Amino acid sequence: MRNGSDVIVVGAGIVGSSAAYHLAKAGVKVTLVEQTHPAGGPSGKSSALLHAFYLLPELSQLSIRGREILVSLPEIAGEGSFVTEIGMMWVCGNDNEASWTAAAERIRGEGARMETLSPQAFGDAAPGFTLDNVALALWEPEFGYADAFGATNAIARAARANGATILQNTAVESLQRQGDRITGVTLANGTVLEADTVVLAAGPWTRRLLATIGLDLPLHVERHPMAVLDAAGRARKVMPFAWCDDISCNYARPDNDGVILAGTWAGGGTGLRHEHAGRPRLVEDPDNYMEGVEEAESVEILETFATRVPAMAELGIRPGYAGLYDMSPDDLPVIGAMPGVESLVVSAGSSGHGFKTGPAVGEAIAKLVTEGAQPILTPFLPSRFKAA
């Protein structure tokens, strides 16, 4: 093959890096092309909360497998560890109690530890948190959070160690097709790279690249601000676990013991978006958005914690930062063969909750390329959208 690979992966976020690693490990000649560096996009800004709790079984299964891969990075990549197992705590109100209880039961059957806590038991486990409107809490002791930047780069290095070529600071300008078939990519410097298969794992830049071969998916991009709270030496006292509150619509976690990261929650991370969540902060151009966070935005986030975790109101506000969510219409990721052309696999629309599943999605994509359809990806097929 001229100037080519078996597979080109576009984008070295968590999914592209993992896909390249698993393809290389399977003996496939793979080139990973990244316009900046691994985790240079949303993956590097991810809060990277890890949990198995999802209302959709396939997301739970991908999360459980994603955690296994992250935890095994010391063996896979010879470096790490990138997972902090401080546990993940959820609370919900009456409206979700039945569905969450059933999901917790299912997830226990899938092999993850998941404790169902009464409001009183939650209060005992979470001193400093109030019980207002809590009908049920779920506790996932094996989960917590990951170092998203470190883990993504470690997986990319493992891909290279297994034979993958990584082109950093190299932008793909366009996809290439001949008739019904994808044939490769053209780089911004004009170089054409040929491949039998292209995996498009370009997050918020997906539509731009699909447009170069006349295809589209109904994706959009949202700006997601994070508040960073100064909590030197007491971050883990105030916020002892990774946290998600489906009542006050917020989430948080400590970062080591120095700061607490906090954001607002639209519900999509369970696999079901809150009806009232709306579609705020649309971003037209992923290369041009406000990466800083105004203090007023941080205050707005902090206010959602005021009744649940009063101690957070005493913390100082450091400069925050904003990342991009690449959103699908149903908040579920879009993964699989792209309709309209052969040999193009797309992974996009991770909708703000795709870090924890990313290592497993990359693995499933590698199997999709080498072995054929993967049942675990069925709910996420791009063909579910009429516009595809």
Ligand X SMILES: Cc1cc2nc3c(=O)[nH]c(=O)nc-3n(C[C@H](O)[C@H](O)[C@H](O)COP(=O)(O)OP(=O)(O)OC[C@H]3O[C@@H](n4cnc5c(N)ncnc54)[C@H](O)[C@@H]3O)c2cc1C
Q: Which residues bind ligand X (CB under 6 A)?
A: 10-16, 33-36, 40-43, 45-49, 171-172, 201-205, 209, 224, 226, 323-325, 347, 350, 352-356, 358
Q: Work out the angle between the directed axes of helices 94-109 and 57-71 (0-180°, nearest 10).
A: 60
Q: Which is nearer to ligand X, 135 or 293 (CB)?
A: 293
Is 317 buried (19+), middle (13-18) or exposed (0-12) by CB count in 10 A?
middle
Q: Which is nearer to ligand X, 136 or 199 (CB)?
A: 199
CB of 293 to ligand X, least distance (A): 10
Q: Which is nearer to ligand X, 17 or 135 (CB)?
A: 17
Q: Which is nearer to ligand X, 34 or 196 (CB)?
A: 34
Distance separating alpha carbons of residues 204 and 281, to the nearest angstrom: 14
For residue 342, give the nearest of 195, 204, 220 by alpha carbon: 195
Q: Which is nearer to ligand X, 146 or 231 (CB)?
A: 146
Q: State whether residue 172 is helix, strand or coil.
A: strand
DSSP designation for 96: H
Is 355 buried (19+), middle (13-18) or exposed (0-12) by CB count in 10 A?
buried
For residue 286, give the nearest of 353, 206, 217 by alpha carbon: 206
Token duo for residue 360: 């497993």
State the residue number with the nearest CB to ligand X.
203
For residue 362, give the nearest of 221, 226, 206, 201 by alpha carbon: 201
State the number of CA atoms in the 13 A half-sphere of 81 facing the CB: 8
For residue 50, give the nearest of 243, 257, 188 by alpha carbon: 243
Q: Which is nearer to ligand X, 135 or 332 (CB)?
A: 332
Instruction: Please count the other Cβ atoms lying within 10 Å of the Cβ belonging to residue 313.
Output: 12
Q: Which is nearer to ligand X, 135 or 228 (CB)?
A: 228
CB of 45 to ligand X, least distance (A): 5
CB of 204 to ligand X, least distance (A): 6
CB of 249 to ligand X, least distance (A): 15
CB of 360 to ligand X, least distance (A): 11
CB of 127 to ligand X, least distance (A): 24
The answer to whether the beta carbons of residues 13 and 152 sit under 8 Å apart is yes
Token duo for residue 141: 């002791």
Largest CA distance in the chain: 66
CB of 36 to ligand X, least distance (A): 5
The answer to whether the beta carbons of residues 289 and 283 sit under 8 Å apart is yes
Q: Which is nearer to ligand X, 228 or 312 (CB)?
A: 228
CB of 273 to ligand X, least distance (A): 14
Cβ-proximal residues to 79 (8 Å cutoff; 6+ apart), any chain = 73, 154, 157
How many residues can be counted in the chain?
A: 388
Q: Which is nearer to ligand X, 315 or 348 (CB)?
A: 348
Token duo for residue 239: 């916020």
CB of 118 to ligand X, least distance (A): 26
CB of 119 to ligand X, least distance (A): 25
Q: Which is nearer to ligand X, 36 or 120 (CB)?
A: 36
Amino acid at position 278, single letter: G
Token duo for residue 8: 């080109």
**Residues of 113-126 as b/e, b for ≥16 C-beta within 10 angstroms?**
ebeebeeeebbebb
The distance from CA 25 to its chain's CA centroid, rounded to whole angstroms, is 23
